[in-house]
Structure 1
């Protein structure tokens, strides 16, 4: 039986994105496995295997990838990487111009620009770009915090990294919006972290990965300035008591009250704390395409032709998957609608909860420690009242 391979790009030693990377790998394996069992995706005349390229096991990412493609191989397409900087490297690698690259988690807007600049037709993005996420978040911020100064923190990194790209997207939005009063400050690499604190009560936007966002939030919490916090990401590392009350642009798979989402996550959630629906959908798109192309692939002796067949098919067709009709634009951007505005809430264990417009959610009373304190006071009053009643009862008895 003829065989082709899917190359999955992972990183087993990604400190900033460790839980996201783990969730990506586990979601990819899950998506691949269920397609092998579901009759809608079963490929009966081809052997399709999943092979992992671990960035951590190579001194240089580009050299490692090039070594795979210097000699003849059976890689028909690539899935990954989770981090936008590595995905950009692949889009700038001439060796990979004729192999489909699917990106379920890389969200940086510069990937779209790179695709346009390099005139690529082989990149397929199955999640929302950060430019869209920034606009989504900021529109909500403006509707609830009009006429207030906006303070934002950013990682002073290359614009070709996730954090650097996010900062650029936010600043572009601010320049083209009616917001006049705003200020940005870099996040320091030292233990000081923050060199300047925002005004009390003004909204704060954090443009960086989840670990640094959490560190900044803890510094703000220490100052007790009651700043409403806005940030980006679906990483479970954000689920920390210091971020309770924070508004987050998340992927749809973090909506625990969405019946459709929960139905599709009920088995995946048993495997990982950071499930990715977009990654599972990506594998369904891939396996459905390969299934439809079995005859063409079997008749193609050259893997280069197989790669081109897959690229052309995905560009020219739509895919009906899980009640969604998914297609791709000229520059590889998909029609998948996968972002949602949520808050981080919870009393004992932080979790993503539906966004509330009620003013109740905008006060620091939502901080879990304060809620527990209030409940403790109520409990003490009840116990005191019970003691008094018992004393009176003993006197009269």
Structure 2
């Protein structure tokens, strides 16, 4: 159950009791020919999806007791009409209890499915280490469908002989096909990041993987399957980062003094999977543009998917992360991502229509000391 649904349940959980009290009061003050049978019948039916089994049973008993008391007060308890009325309320109360149990069983199944989805998310998108050398790392993932747990956005962080390499991407489409593409891309990245000497060649490996994946599938994926992505590389011992952007929203660079800007690519490139449309791309794996940006201590690289930049408010206005983050200081990348997620939720009123993946990398001003290991004599 989502947060909005939980808020609604909290607000209306006293409704069954209010219906019973209101029905009893209405029966008491109105002439005998008027009856609040409808309110007595509605109360257990309202309790069934909102309250526990015990509360639903008590509501049904309360409805029958209130109706019987009022029937006795007006002298109708022994009449055929009065008994029929009481039997009707009792029958509806029994049905409400059955509905409560059926909803409980469904809720258990939904919780099991959510647990499986969460396990799949941890397997497909494992949590990266919080620190690699001077770099502090944090990630967040929110699927557009609240119960889905995972969608077509992806991220990865890997320490390689060429430095720490990161990937963030957005697979075209949704559902199981998108998740399958995510797993294929992440598997390729984890293998190729350790062996390809440049980001261009790493992107070429991902390109070939998507091309093979498209040929294996039937239908539109062969023609329209693509993934927007950004590859980032933090060379060891350097004060710079290298970025390769393949049709993805540009990442943000935040400096220690609070300034924020988009790291725009020097030349636009097609998303992964569409490289065959560019003449000569197959023969030259180093054709992708790689841009270098300064990354001094205290800087933050914020990689994100379009669930951030395409988040709209009720008037249709897009969220601007540069304006939202400029001039602000955070204790670490996790705090930054928490603030960004909250800002996007406030902007959209929690009505996001796309997945949102976030990856923040901060270069610490000081490197954490490595604990010494005592020698064994």
TM range (shorter): under 0.3
TM (norm. structure 2) is: 0.23
Q: Which has the higher contact order (CA 8 A, sep 6+)?
A: 1
TM (norm. structure 1) is: 0.22
